Structure 1
Amino acid sequence: MSNVTVLDHPLIQHKLTIMRNKETSIAGFRRLLREIAHLMCYEVTRDLELEMVPIETPMTEMESPTIKGKKLVFASILRAGNGLLDGMLDLVPAARVAHIGLYRDHETLEPVEYYFKAPADLANRLIIVVDPMLATGNSATAAIEKLKERGANNIRFLCLLAAPEGIKHFAEAQPDVPVYTASIDTHLNEKGYIIPGLGDAGDRMYGTK
């Protein structure tokens, strides 16, 4: 698991505990997901390259740091990824956005694609793929393959929870893509859900079953 970074900041862990609680309301879950996305965004972008640019403050001229290169791309795996996406865009509102529509077949646990829309120039951008869960790893792997087909070569994957089985599969399929997560849980159950987990993130965000 050398390619996995666990974001163990106390505020992240505190908010995640509240999200796990089955008594947390839909509105509370949605708000916490957005808040935790803010905190995780700080960590996943910590090493962005900076360059100095000339500006003028009300007092004087100076050289000041700004993010170097083309704007970031946030790629949301629909639908639950949008909960993290909203929080990320709060911090980086100029980021480009990709949407990747995948759902998991509950019989085979394999991803089924139904939508893909991304910026045209992915090759020279950092792409951060977001999805609350890395369970089997099938959906994340499929999403990243689609991005690579469009030229993406600098990709990071951000999730709330990860299962050891998903991490193993993902690392074998996408060894060049680092994973950032708030927790590595114990295992998957027979239906492919993370245990202890927090249930289906999309259902808890939108009040569906």
Structure 2
Amino acid sequence: MSQVTVIEHPLVQHKLTLMREQERSTAAFRTLLREVALLLAYEVTRDLPTELVDIQTPLAPMKAPKIAGKKLVFASILRAGNGLVDGMLDLVPSARVAHVGLYRDHDTLEAVQYFFKAPTNLEDRLVIVVDPMLATGNSVVAAVDLLKAKGARDLRYVCLLAAPEGVKRFTEAHPDVPLFTAAIDEKLTEIGYITPGLGDAGDRLYGTK
């Protein structure tokens, strides 16, 4: 499990608890997800490479660190992934965004692709894949498969909640991709929902059923 990091920062855990509550409104859920996303992005980017550049302060010239290399990419697994991307862009507004459209077949629980659009030169960029819920793991495994096929070599995956079954599926399929999450819950239900979980993140984010 060395590739799995559970982010236990008190603010992350507090906001996750608020999001789990059944009576939490759509607007509040959306705001909390955006706030948690910023905190998760802080953790997953803490080791980005930097380089010294020459700048001029109001008092003197100096060498100061800036992030090195091409702009990183946030790869959103539609639709719920967009709720995480919004908060992450607050922290890294210059990042590029990829969209991976997948839906889960309710009979087989397998991921079905319907859309894919990504920036160029993925092989030269850090790609951070985002989706709030790691349930069966089928969707994110398929998404990372697609991104690797398009040239991505340096990937990380960030989710809000994970089930043990999904963690096992993902780490076995992509042992080279670090996984960051706020919590690993008890198990999956028979129909593939994380329990105790927080329900369907997309429905709660957008007020749908």
Q: CA deviation at 1:3?
A: 1.1
CA RMSD, 1 decimal: 0.5
Aligned partner letter, 1:105: D
**AA partner of residue 77 (structure 1):** I
Structure 2: gaps spanning 5 or more residues: none
The residue that corresponds to 2:194 in the other structure is 194
- TM-score normalised according to structure 2 size: 0.99
Q: Does 1:116 align with 2:110?
A: no
Tell me which residue corresponds to 1:159.
159
- SS of aligned partner of 2:175: coil
Structure 2 match to 1:4:
4
SS of equivalent to 1:16: helix
Return the alpha-carbon distance in structure 2 between the equivalents of residues 70 and 154 of structure 1: 12
The one-letter code sitting in structure 2 at the alignment partner of 1:44 is: V
- In the TM superposition, what whole-angstrom CA distance separates every residue of 1:55-95 from its partner, at most 9, and x where no partner exists? 00111100000001111000000000000000000111110
How far did residue 2 of structure 1 move?
1.9
Q: Tell me the matched-pair count.
A: 209
Counterpart mapping for 1:164-179 below 5 A: 164-179=164-179
CA distance in 1, matches of 2:169, 2:41: 24
Q: What is the distance in 2 between the residues matched to 1:180 and 1:171?
A: 12
> How far apart, CA to CA, are the structure 1 residues paired with 2:186 and 2:17?
15
| Residue 41 of structure 2: aligned partner | 41
Q: Report the TM-score when normalising by structure 1.
A: 0.99
Show structure 1 runs of 4+ deviating over 3 A.
none
Give the equivalent residue in structure 2 for 1:125: 125
Matched, 1:25 2:7: no
Equivalent in the alignment of 1:61:
61
Identity of aligned residues (%): 69
Distance 2:41 2:119 in 1: 20
Q: How many angstroms apart in 2 are the aligned matches of 1:86 and 1:47?
A: 21
